[in-house]
């Protein structure tokens, strides 16, 4: 039987943001990874980021004139008609859904495409998609990938090549509709990639990099406003040795529909160096490390850091380096700090999470004993090595008391006095796919018909918490104002004013 030619479009939807916040393109690594796998499989694949458009779209002004949605949020991106124009020539359209607060944009795109092109196969994936299957199938998706999808997407393509009416029943690691009912084929052990070096090289060239660099709004980090930032994201490892209740990794274990993809795995040194060479070949000067636990294996990390010295790029850690990995017997581990500095790291996010041992033990894998750790010496040492360092602090756990929140704010205040550049305060979000979400639903802190638009770090989504939601939002805002220096606050406000 002759196989059909199949073309795949990987679509980033437009972004939605709250008024007064900065819109940043998604640009997640999902599409370079999937694009590389499809390309190696001989598939014609394209990435279209509907938030920034391509060379046929006027970039100037796009981020200055967002459209207000009925929810009051602001939509940034190309028109629906442009999305349809881009999708018209493709047989499969993939739309990832990792971030719950962007779910509305994903589902809007699915409904738009389904109405215009009933014959196309719509595919989704990501922790939010697999955690919200009824909503995704109602919007028109045909199949949702449940695990790491580099292999799954090629099997989906092969099935579509074979038949205009594909049957996904024989594919593991997917969910699909069967006679109107949701059928789940959990991931098998061999769906999990244990040797990360076997993964195809990410196809970063498929991204609209020049447009990202002009906009200069990566997920994290601080740079001078108005400068072109030639950046790209990469990961040197997957998974994490910790299983914090508010993180999806805690739900990605043996027996879950995704399989144990939360288990810590690392790329070889040679693979990381090859990826850096690819990025430099594209003109990248700033590499944003997206690892969930870059130093999860300290011996491996030290060896890798020494090998990438002189790589010719600045490196920024985005997801945060667990603080315990920067310490040795509770004191600064200067071997690690020096290796990070010499490897080109310039900025670090430090996830302190809470000022309370009880909270850290219950919700954060007991990953740091803040009473034993010499954080003052660590911060002083990091500044001596020339790092910009930012602390992340969380509040609003269901049983967290006002006194415990005040302890966290005081901890951040102390850290700023030691030399921390700035403190970021977040409200705990019970995101779908995390143990905290399951707890919030079972204990009545969150309705099953919750509004995904509110699932962000500045909103208190849980009801019945010890500290009420409206108080939490006020405490978070006040903490940022009181703890951070006037210089930092003025710089952030000036940056937001010019970028939003």
pLDDT over 80 (residue 3): no
- Bigger pLDDT: 43 vs 494: 43
What is the domain range of residue 102? Answer: 7-191
Residue 449 lies in a domain: yes
Q: In sequence order, which residues have a C-beta less than 8 Å from that of residue 432 and are 6 or more positions away?
A: 100, 127, 128, 131, 132
Neighbours of 175 (CB within 10 A): 23
Residue 240 lies in a domain: yes
Asked whether residue 92 falls in the same domain as residue 19, the answer is: yes
DSSP symbols for 52-88: T--TTS--TTTTTSPEEPTTS-EEES--HHHHHHHHT
pLDDT digits (tens, 9 = 90+) for 82-126: 999 999 999 999 999 999 999 999 999 999 999 999 999 999 999
Neighbours of 20 (CB within 10 A): 10
Residue 198 lies in a domain: no
* Predicted local distance difference test score (pLDDT) of residue 500: 42
Domain total of the chain: 2
Asked whether residue 246 falls in the same domain as residue 355, the answer is: yes
pLDDT digits (tens, 9 = 90+) for 416-441: 999 999 999 999 999 999 999 999 99
Asked whether residue 451 falls in the same domain as residue 341, the answer is: yes
Asked whether residue 229 falls in the same domain as residue 96, the answer is: no
Q: Which of 327, 322, 421 is nearest to 373 (CA)?
A: 327
Asked whether residue 240 falls in the same domain as residue 148, the answer is: no
Asked whether residue 81 falls in the same domain as residue 229, the answer is: no
Mean pLDDT of the chain: 93
Asked whether residue 288 falls in the same domain as residue 335, the answer is: yes
Q: Which of 59, 40, 173, 149 is nearest to 96 (CA)?
A: 149
Q: In sequence order, which residues have a C-beta less than 8 Å from that of residue 81 and are 6 or more positions away?
A: none
pLDDT over 90 (residue 497): no
Question: Would you say 51 and 76 are in contact if contact means Cβ atoms under 8 Å apart?
Answer: yes
* Predicted local distance difference test score (pLDDT) of residue 146: 97
**CATH number of the domain to which 486 belongs:** 3.80.30.20
**CATH number of the domain to which 98 belongs:** 3.40.50.280
Asked whether residue 232 falls in the same domain as residue 83, the answer is: no
Half-sphere exposure of 468 (CA within 13 A, CB side): 2
Asked whether residue 183 falls in the same domain as residue 241, the answer is: no
Residue 247 lies in a domain: yes
pLDDT over 60 (residue 144): yes
Share of the chain above pLDDT 70, in %: 97
For residue 94, the 8-state DSSP code is E
pLDDT digits (tens, 9 = 90+) for 188-229: 988 899 999 999 999 999 999 999 999 888 877 777 766 778
pLDDT digits (tens, 9 = 90+) for 224-268: 766 778 999 999 999 999 999 999 999 999 989 999 999 999 999
pLDDT digits (tens, 9 = 90+) for 462-488: 999 999 999 999 999 999 999 999 888
Residue 50 lies in a domain: yes
Residue 291 lies in a domain: yes
Asked whether residue 228 falls in the same domain as residue 142, the answer is: no
* Predicted local distance difference test score (pLDDT) of residue 64: 84
pLDDT digits (tens, 9 = 90+) for 335-394: 999 999 999 998 899 999 999 999 999 999 999 999 999 999 999 999 999 999 999 999
Q: How far apart are CA 40 and CA 34, in angstroms?
A: 10
- Domain end position, chosen among 191, 225, 240: 191
Residue 173 lies in a domain: yes
For residue 95, the 8-state DSSP code is E
Distances (CA, A) of 246 to 85, 89, 397, 438, 464: 39, 40, 10, 10, 18
Asked whether residue 250 falls in the same domain as residue 302, the answer is: yes
Residue 130 lies in a domain: yes
Token pair, residue 394, equals: 């969380």
Rounded to the nearest 10°, the torsion over CA 6, 32, 36, 164 is -20
Asked whether residue 406 falls in the same domain as residue 339, the answer is: yes
């Amino acid at each position: 039987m002759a196989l059909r030619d199949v073309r795949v479009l990987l679509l980033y939807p437009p972004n939605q943001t709250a008024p007064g916040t900065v819109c940043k393109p998604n640009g997640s690594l999902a599409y370079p990874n999937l694009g590389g796998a499809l390309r190696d499989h001989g598939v014609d694949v394209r990435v279209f980021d509907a938030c920034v458009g391509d060379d046929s779209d006027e970039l100037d002004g796009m981020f200055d004139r967002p459209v207000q949605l009925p929810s009051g949020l602001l939509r940034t991106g190309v028109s629906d008609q442009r999305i349809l124009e881009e999708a018209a020539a493709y047989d499969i359209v993939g739309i990832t859904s990792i971030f719950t607060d962007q779910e509305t944009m994903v589902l809007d795109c699915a409904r738009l495409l389904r109405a215009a092109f009933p014959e196309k196969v719509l595919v989704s994936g990501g922790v939010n998609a697999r955690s919200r299957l009824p909503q995704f199938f109602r919007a028109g998706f045909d199949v949702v990938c449940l695990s790491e999808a580099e292999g799954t997407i090629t099997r989906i393509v092969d099935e579509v090549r074979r038949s205009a009416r594909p049957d996904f029943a024989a594919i593991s690691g997917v969910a699909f509709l069967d006679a109107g009912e949701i059928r789940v084929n959990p991931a098998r052990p061999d769906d999990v990639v244990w040797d990360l070096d076997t993964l195809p090289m990410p196809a970063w060239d498929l991204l609209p990099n020049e447009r990202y660099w002009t906009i200069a709004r990566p997920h994290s980090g601080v740079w001078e406003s108005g400068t072109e930032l030639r950046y790209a994201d990469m990961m040197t490892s997957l998974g994490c040795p910790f299983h914090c209740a508010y993180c999806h990794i805690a739900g990605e274990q043996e027996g879950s529909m995704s399989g144990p993809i939360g288990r810590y795995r690392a790329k070889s040194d040679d693979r990381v160096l090859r990826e850096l060479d690819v990025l430099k070949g594209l003109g990248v000067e700033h590499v944003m490390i997206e690892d969930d636990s870059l130093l999860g294996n300290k011996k491996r990390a030290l060896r890798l850091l020494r090998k990438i010295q002189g790589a010719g790029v600045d490196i920024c850690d985005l997801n945060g380096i667990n603080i315990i990995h920067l310490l040795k017997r509770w004191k600064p581990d200067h071997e690690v700090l020096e290796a990070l500095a010499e490897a080109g790291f310039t900025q670090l996010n430090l996830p302190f999470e809470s000022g309370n041992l009880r909270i850290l033990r219950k919700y954060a894998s007991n990953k740091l004993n803040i009473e034993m750790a010499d954080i003052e010496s660590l911060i002083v040492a990091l500044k001596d090595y020339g790092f910009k360092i930012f602390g992340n602090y969380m509040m609003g756990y269901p049983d967290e008391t006002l006194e415990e929140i005040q302890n966290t704010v005081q901890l951040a205040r102390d850290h700023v006095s030691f030399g921390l550049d700035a403190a970021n305060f977040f409200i705990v979000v019970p995101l779908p796919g995390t143990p905290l979400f399951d707890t919030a639903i079972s204990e009545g802190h969150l309705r099953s018909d919750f509004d995904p638009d509110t699932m962000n770090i500045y909103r208190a989504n849980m009801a019945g918490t010890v500290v009420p939601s409206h108080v939490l939002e006020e405490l978070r805002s006040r903490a940022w104002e009181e703890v951070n220096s006037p210089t930092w606050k003025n710089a952030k406000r000036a940056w937001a004013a010019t970028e939003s």
